[in-house]
Structure 1
Amino acid sequence: MPHTKDDLPDALYSAAQVRGLDARLIAAGTSGFELMQRAARATWRALVRQWPAGRELSVMAGHGNNAGDGYLVAVLARRAGWAVRVLAVGDPQRLQGDAALAHAEAVSEKVSIEAWTAQSTLSGIVLDALLGTGISGEVREPFASAIDAINTSGLPVAAVDIPSGLCADTGCLLGHGVRADLTVTFIGLKLGLFTGDAADVVGNLVFNDLHADPQLLEMAASSALRLTVANLPRLAPRPPTSHKGKFGHVLLIGGDRGFGGAILLSTQSALRSGAGMVSVATRSEHIPAALARLPEAMVLGASSANQLMGLLEKATVLVVGPGLGQAGWGRSLLSAAANAPLPQVWDADALNMLATGSVSLPKDCIITPHPGEAARLLGMTTAEVQADRPAAAHALSEKYAAVVILKGAGSLIASPDGRLALCHQGHPSMATAGLGDVLAGLVGALLAQGMDAFEAACLAVWLHANAGAQQGKSGRGLAASDLIPAIRQLLEEQAPCLK
């Protein structure tokens, strides 16, 4: 059964887990070669749907099962009357098992097979059947040069199972990676197709379960949950007797001199996302702007932590960090927040000070680092975080005993109990300042309305990403505040107020 990018399963697997699923199917009575034939047919159907006018195919084949899929697609294309060439990267005599059977079938069908060299030319549609999910370490020659040749060809590219060079577990490109227009993947969705570098190289994603028994798939452990409309955590509907006291009191702390906009964006987001009451503690210089922009919020000009104490007693949730700075004022306010026995969201400079060890994170917290902040929190480089985003999210959650939102392409939400969720929606126009401030306020509002930390983080990330996708249709120039009305609309669709 084929699935497009908008109609995919929820479970995400590691490469090893998918190999385990494959082994289960074979043990249950479906031969490996039959699965390979099904994969080839699924790839061929998707390829023809994507390029209905295509009549020529260049298959770049390696020497594993991925290559076997490619040889069988070449057979199908030749039978359909296409001009077909297989360019073998590496000696086809190295093929074993089912891949060797696929090569033999291509030979018997008189498919043109030739050795790839740096002088080889590509034509028509290119099928990437070079490297599958088993690759570890950097892509080596001759595959690195073959991948570069595909990328510089200017031709449409389809990838079998995963673009060659993309790590199926982490979404990191291993030195060289095929940039595909179409990727057809099988049996179980790989986590690496949805985070890190994946968005730049996967293209249109089509999934086919190869007629696997659903019960076999349901019994298998997965690595993560892909957030969808169907599985999102939901706020309870609001009854007609609702009043503000039932939906929490969010206190937002931040906005040092020169950074007042960040805390106001977070405050506006919390207000518009359903918190019953919202207060903000900021520099006194920002009070006029806050009252002009957000008359619904209670605003305190705080020059020291002592002035926070009365507000801390009334709040039910804290959001700390947007525009906080790392000077004495911010350190003082963060210290007071860290000692408050309340659920909290820590963002931005709160995380930077946490990374220095000058403050400890209280329990029941959500932290929202981008990759740079995550690197400081883990004592590694940003490149190391991006090289294995799922591992970094789990490590942060374990180290700080907190729910973690690791932001970026394919945002990840990790819980200390080991759960991992992924949101791959979004838009390139979201690469602009202030988006994190909006997210922090949204998470705080959902916590205030009674959601637990992991569920609030999952729903907030999905709302934020889909609001960005919706508003990003207009292209560049997206402002962070543009997301807030869209978030409000999406939230009402998910959890309507009862009339």
Structure 2
Amino acid sequence: MAQTIKYLGQEEAQHIDEELFSEYGFSVDQLMELAGLSCATAITRAYPITSLVKGRPSLLVICGPGNNGGDGLVCARHLKLFGYEPTILYPKRPNKPLFQGLTTQCQKMEIPFLTEMPEAEVIEEAYNLVIDAIFGFSFKGAVREPFDSILDVLKKTTVPIASVDIPSGWDVEQGSADGLQPDMLISLTAPKKSALLFRGRYHFLGGRFVPPGLERKYQLNLPQYPGTDCVLQL
């Protein structure tokens, strides 16, 4: 790679998102579908069904109240189609048609929804992987209930965690020394500055939809995706 990929600050990431929706004509649900599919595909690369240690390919997908949670719902639906057995925890559901539709799609795919966060011991026993789709790059401020309790449980478990775009609770630029330490990070569009502090085994880039004009303007220096792939291991 001639030039190194750019790691985005929070403001820059927000500007890119806004331009994709305004100037470039993308819709939120369209990019969410592409992002969620990228996440599911990356997970199949890092954790193929044949490598899972539990008796069945069980995954826990934890979805937050915003677009990161929407990515998680799409990801869960595709993982089900790929032969995994996802279960979803979605404690704060926005009253918006987009998220209601995504929830219905998962229910119709016969994906179970939990009503509360399992204890760390239950997660250890029941799941091969936890997918953290709680907070994305627009998150600021303190983590509130129920999500602070959820993150506390996740910090106790030894089950691998795959975080969507940002490990939840991390500062987008500074990271978090005492926060989640995921095994996998799936950066969407382009990695954020906190990804430089990621110490897990698998870092993937997903979201193969960036128009060339946008890439040039922000000097993203995105690597070439191989063939028809929608994800790339960094």
Give the TM-score normalised by structure 1.
Answer: 0.39
Secondary structure, aligned partner of 1:12: coil
Separation in structure 2 between the aligned mates of residue 91 and residue 199 of structure 1, nearest angstrom: 27
Taking a change above 3 Å as real, the CA distance of residues 141 and 77 of structure 1, as seen in their structure-2 partners, is same
User: Which string of whole-angstrom CA distances, capped at 9 and with x for unpartnered residues, describes residues 158-206 of structure 1?
Assistant: 1111111111122235xx6221111001112211221xxx234x54211
Aligned to 1:199: 198
Separation in structure 2 between the aligned mates of residue 167 and residue 99 of structure 1, nearest angstrom: 25
Larger radius of gyration: 1
Separation in structure 1 between the aligned mates of residue 218 and residue 34 of structure 2, nearest angstrom: 21
- Structure 1 segments of 4 or more deviating over 4 A? 6-9
User: Which string of whole-angstrom CA distances, capped at 9 and with x for unpartnered residues, describes residues 322-375 of structure 1?
Assistant: xxxxxxxxxxxxxxxxxxxxxxxxxxxxxxxxxxxxxxxxxxxxxxxxxxxxxx
Separation in structure 2 between the aligned mates of residue 218 and residue 185 of structure 1, nearest angstrom: 19
Displacement, 1:91?
Answer: 2.8
Secondary structure, aligned partner of 2:172: coil
Aligned to 1:186: 188
Find out whether 1:34 has 2:30 as its counterpart: yes
Which of these residues, 209, 212, 225, is aligned with residue 211 of structure 1? 209
Identical aligned residues as a percent: 23
Displacement, 1:156?
Answer: 1.6
Separation in structure 2 between the aligned mates of residue 138 and residue 101 of structure 1, nearest angstrom: 29
Aligned to 1:124: 128
Which of these residues, 34, 42, 48, is aligned with residue 46 of structure 1? 42
User: Which string of whole-angstrom CA distances, capped at 9 and with x for unpartnered residues, describes residues 292-316 of structure 1?
Assistant: xxxxxxxxxxxxxxxxxxxxxxxxx
Displacement, 1:8?
Answer: 8.9
Aligned to 1:142: 146
**Structure possessing the higher relative contact order (Cα contacts under 8 Å, 6 or more residues apart):** 2
Q: What letter corresponds to residue 139 of structure 1 in structure 2?
A: V
Aligned to 1:389: none
Q: More helix per residue: 1 or 2?
A: 1
Aligned to 1:114: 114
8 Å Cα contact 1:40/1:73 also seen in 2: yes
Q: What letter corresponds to residue 18 of structure 2 in structure 1?
A: A
Secondary structure, aligned partner of 2:210: coil
Find out whether 1:91 has 2:88 as its counterpart: no
Q: What letter corresponds to residue 199 of structure 1 in structure 2?
A: F
Find out whether 1:172 has 2:191 as its counterpart: no
Structure 2, gaps ≥5 residues long: 222-234
Aligned to 1:274: none
Separation in structure 1 between the aligned mates of residue 2 and residue 32 of structure 2, nearest angstrom: 23
Displacement, 1:36?
Answer: 0.7
Separation in structure 1 between the aligned mates of residue 182 and residue 97 of structure 2, nearest angstrom: 27
Number of residue pairs aligned between Structure 1 and Structure 2 = 210
8 Å Cα contact 1:75/1:105 also seen in 2: yes
8 Å Cα contact 1:69/1:102 also seen in 2: no
Separation in structure 2 between the aligned mates of residue 44 and residue 180 of structure 1, nearest angstrom: 16
8 Å Cα contact 2:119/2:153 also seen in 1: no
Separation in structure 2 between the aligned mates of residue 140 and residue 95 of structure 1, nearest angstrom: 19
Separation in structure 1 between the aligned mates of residue 98 and residue 187 of structure 2, nearest angstrom: 18
Taking a change above 3 Å as real, the CA distance of residues 161 and 98 of structure 1, as seen in their structure-2 partners, is farther
Superposition RMSD in Å: 2.5
Displacement, 1:30?
Answer: 2.1
Structure 1, gaps ≥5 residues long: 1-5, 226-499
Aligned to 1:231: none
Separation in structure 2 between the aligned mates of residue 207 and residue 199 of structure 1, nearest angstrom: 13
Separation in structure 2 between the aligned mates of residue 125 and residue 205 of structure 1, nearest angstrom: 16
Taking a change above 3 Å as real, the CA distance of residues 117 and 23 of structure 1, as seen in their structure-2 partners, is same
Secondary structure, aligned partner of 1:23: helix
Taking a change above 3 Å as real, the CA distance of residues 15 and 7 of structure 1, as seen in their structure-2 partners, is farther
Aligned to 2:232: none
Taking a change above 3 Å as real, the CA distance of residues 192 and 8 of structure 1, as seen in their structure-2 partners, is farther
Q: What letter corresponds to residue 108 of structure 1 in structure 2?
A: K
